[in-house]
Structure 1
Amino acid sequence: MTSPITDYLEAVLRDCRDSDGGEVLTGNRILSKADPDVFSVAVVTVEGTVYCAGDVDSSFSIQSISKALTYALALADRGLDAVHRKIDVEPSGDAFNEISLERDTGRPRNALINAGAIAAHSLVEGREVEHRVDRILALHSAFVGRDLSIDDDVFDAEMESSDRNLALAHMLASVKVLECDAHEVVTGYARQCSIDVTTPDLAMLAATMANGGVHPGSGDRVATSAVVRQVLSTMTTCGMYDGTGDWIANVGIPAKSGVSGAIIGVLPGQLGIAVHSPRLDDRGNSVRGVEVFERLSRDMDLHMMDIAPSGHSAVRRAREEDGRTVYELQGDIRFAGAENIMSRVLADLPDDPTRIGFELEPARAVNGAAVRLLGELIERLRSDGHDVEVDDPNGLM
């Protein structure tokens, strides 16, 4: 039986196929030959379930979507402070290939415009350009879960039209932002943009981000949660170039686009989405891709500001067992959930010392803030003379 989600995605593609506005990129002789009617969507959950519709076997170059993971690798190699000294995290308000540098420091505005991406590439550790490219390719392969390759024809075409990027690189070198030779950086940057992918590849990449840097299929950690958080934060404010404000208001999903017509979206803790359609609007974003994301966000309540209450049901129930009040905890417990538990326990607490139990078997996860709050609650209860037992068979705390 076909999944209703697959049927829904196919219906979305049918409805959006009539949107034939925009133009295929003309500045690259390979990308300019793309079939304008190729259209596909893929969704991958953090559990690793894949749903696809459309031309999912059609491959294309990753282009600017590679900026996100190159930034991630620079952060992993150098640390946030060192990268931040070279690259800011502010929206530029300009087109992706504009020279958007800080007046006083010469830093690019963010890592998701060309100037910032070139700087980020130079911050990836490697003795020479091929070493850096190999490491960038390996990270993309790890996020996707298969060995990816570089399309040499696309790379050659990128280098033929690289004058503006070379100008950006020399400008960055003149203000001591680049960590290596300008020509080497542009060559490496062009190669990372030429990584060959499919829509399901990009949806899996996005789902790995949504899963905090853990690949949903293999369970392998390929990036730290801190690095992923920084990348997603930058995608939220800068990922759709000068259209990011409209995107976040209307779609509400951290995203990154590329001029081959792909867009990825990441809903942390839930899923990754990718759409591919080569026709671009005047901001360099896929026309149909934007429409598909708007539809998914609206139909499936995916806007990140559509927030379900997280703390109201952290206590599934309280039961009396052998003279002990046992609180059964459930769900994903974060700050609000931990506060809800604390309030419930303190409201029930008698004046005299009593016996209390916490049962974590029904709970799925307890984050760091909740662990600290609940740990403090337990410590204070014990210091006041209460007998507290914690049943935590899965080691959540």
Structure 2
Amino acid sequence: MDPITALLDDVLDEIAPQDAGAPADYIPELAAADTDRLAFAVVGPHGRVRAVGDDAAEFTIQSISKPFVLALALQELGRERVLARVGVEPSGEPFNAISLEMGTGRPANPMINAGAIAVSSLVPGGDVDERTARIVETLSAFAGRSLWVDEAVYASESATGDRNRALAHLLRSHGVLEGEVETAVEAYFRQCSLLVTVRDLAVMAATLAFGGVNPLTRRRVIDERVARDVLSIMGSCGMYDFSGEWMLRVGLPAKSGVSGGLLAVAPSQFGVAAFSPRLDTHGNSVRSVLVVEELAERFGMHMLESHESVAVPAVALETVEGGRVVRLGGELGFAGTERVVAILRGMGDELPPGATVTVDATGLGAAHPGAVVALQAEFETMPEGFVLLV
């Protein structure tokens, strides 16, 4: 196990004994979840997935689908047409509340159920199957692999989804909902029932982190401006009526789901995801929140911290007798480590026999502990002739 994965494992071990909360009981299939499951994953700019815990466990994406379906609508229709149907203000209310704007009937934002149903109704498609296919195609592109619907969970959600149908009828009465209520609601239930792993969610988060380009496949999924819009809304609304405290404590755009998943985005750095089925009163996973909060603290991830350079330190190259010296300056973040290592590996391919490359990190103005650990770990795999000064 490399040192970074070991660090993630330590965080997981620290949080694992927490047993507060309970799985969602209003959807029978979710109520039967294995509450001992716990997983965490991180994906950086070069697509490397580091995962610990039950990272192969599948669960349904639930409300974490909302920002990605919003991205699809924004990409296809543009900001103005989408905002004509849904607002972008925090509701300060639970995810299933009737939070509609006075006079227009617009839902408060796309992260609550009413807003997500309105957004799903905008996705092109003449019936449930066509609309679902378009949603599945887009979310699969974000994940970097084909996703599919858990039919048992879908049936359970549809059978118990009267409140969401009521919200859809309210939206239709205000002229907000496009198309038939049943088409919109059933497509929404199906998008929430897509099966994912914590590794998938971390890749999806990283795709948003890097401006809409999937770091695993290198495919552009959405435009950079669309990714920015989605992250802006996640930052203020993604954790429901816990969003303000989340931004204070963690400081990252995030989205949770009632199956226990949680993803968070460090823009231009990496995507993270966690999974644990027990929920708090807000509908957020208790242990997932704690895991991401702890990692944010250890890695200095809060996006409002003072940074000289979020992603890349200054790099100065000097040729000396017997080899080269690489001097690092400014700030070294987690993503910056991966970029520095990419430069060094390129130099290693051209290194003459007997030559050395000395990487002098003593001039860094700031270096997050996790980034230093990552750099040291990478040096253990470097060819002979590489020396690190810290």
Q: TM-score range by the shorter chain?
A: 0.7 to 0.9
* Paired-residue identity, %: 47
| C-alpha RMSD of matched pairs (Å) | 2.0
The equivalent of 1:33 in structure 2 is 32
Post-superposition offset of 1:310: 3.9
Spell out the pairing of 1:260-279 with structure 2 (5 A cutoff).
260-279=259-278
- C-alpha deviation, 1:76, in angstroms: 1.2
- The CA distance in 1 between the partners of 2:296 and 2:117, in whole Å, is 32
CA distance in 1, matches of 2:128, 2:72: 15
Measure, in 2, the Cα distance between the counterparts of 1:219 and 1:310. Answer: 24
Instruction: Assess if the C-alpha contact under 8 Å between 2:85 and 2:118 holds in 1.
Output: yes
Counterparts of 1:98 and 1:158, CA distance in 2: 17
CA distance in structure 2 between the aligned counterparts of 1:310 and 1:163, rounded to whole angstroms: 49
The amino acid of 1:237's aligned partner reads S
Q: Which residue of 2 aligns with 1:185?
A: 184
* Larger Rg belongs to: 1
- Distance in 1 (CA, whole Å) between partners of 2:64 and 2:216 is 21
Supply the distance in 2 between the matched residues of 1:150 and 1:331 (Cα, whole angstroms): 46
* Match of residue 296 from structure 2: 297
Q: Look up the equivalent residue of 1:177 and give its one-letter code.
A: V
Equivalent in the alignment of 2:107: 108
Ranges in structure 2 where 5+ consecutive residues have no aligned partner: 317-328, 332-390
Aligned to 2:249: 250
**Matched position secondary structure for 2:28:** coil
Tell me, yes or no, if structure 1 residue 207 matches structure 2 residue 203: no
Distance 1:310 1:252 in 2: 17
What is the TM-score with the length of structure 2 in the denominator?
0.79
Return closer, same or farther for 1:155/1:273 CA change in 2, 3 Å cut-off.
Answer: same
> 4+ runs of 1 displaced by more than 6 Å?
313-317
User: Is the CA contact 1:39–1:275 (under 8 Å) kept in the aligned structure 2?
Assistant: yes
In structure 1, the gaps of 5 or more residues are 318-329, 333-397
What is the TM-score of this pair, normalised by structure 1?
Answer: 0.78
Residue 308 (structure 1) shift: 1.1
In the TM superposition, residue 315 of structure 1 has moved relative to its aligned partner by 8.5
- Counterpart of 2:84 in structure 1 is 85
How many angstroms does 1:307 deviate by? 3.0
72-81 or 91-100, which deviates more? 72-81
Q: How far apart in 2 are the matches of 1:315 and 1:198?
A: 36
Partner in structure 2 of residue 42 of structure 1: 41
Displacement of 1:18 after TM fit? 1.3
Counterpart of 1:196? Answer: 195
Q: Which amino acid aligns with 1:58?
A: A
- Aligned pair 1:222/2:248, yes or no? no
Q: Deviations over 1:146-191 (max 9, x none)?
A: 1111000000000011100000000000000011101111100000
Contact residue 46 and residue 208 of structure 1 kept, 8 A: no
Question: Which residue matches 1:370?
Answer: none
Q: Does the 8 A contact of 2:308 with 2:330 survive in 1?
A: no
Q: Tell me how many residue pairs correspond in the alignment.
A: 320
Name 1:345's counterpart in structure 2. none
**Which position in structure 2 is the counterpart of 1:383?**
none
Aligned residue for 1:18? 17
